[in-house]
Amino acid sequence: MDWARLQMEIDRQLAWMLFWSLIATVISLWVGYELLKAAIKNGINASNLGDRRRSMQAAQPPVAPAGYRWVLVKDDKPGADMRPER
């Protein structure tokens, strides 16, 4: 058997092995990234960290700057201050 041909065949097999190892590594890293992203998102949702801000904003009445008149409120008295009382 020709040693140069054997060496060339070994190099070719090594190149294919490195190519498929690189593909497998990239796919594994991508799957790990997606799993970690989903786990973090699930943890945030389970701990209600994302809902705390929305619930605090919903609990507070809307505040208007001085002199602002609410658009969708029927004006009973002309010139009345339409802001909610605190």
pLDDT, tens digit, 9 for 90 and up, residues 60-84: 666 666 777 666 655 566 666 667 6
pLDDT above 90 covers what percent of the chain? 42
Answer whether residue 15 shows pLDDT above 90. yes
Residue 49 phi, psi (nearest 5): -70, -35
Per-residue DSSP letter, 78? T
Q: Output the pLDDT for position 33.
A: 97
What is the pTM (predicted TM-score) of this model?
0.50
User: Could you report how far apart the first and last alpha carbons of the chain are, in Å?
Assistant: 96
Do the Cβ atoms of 70 and 64 come closer than 8 Å? yes
Q: Output the pLDDT for position 43.
A: 79
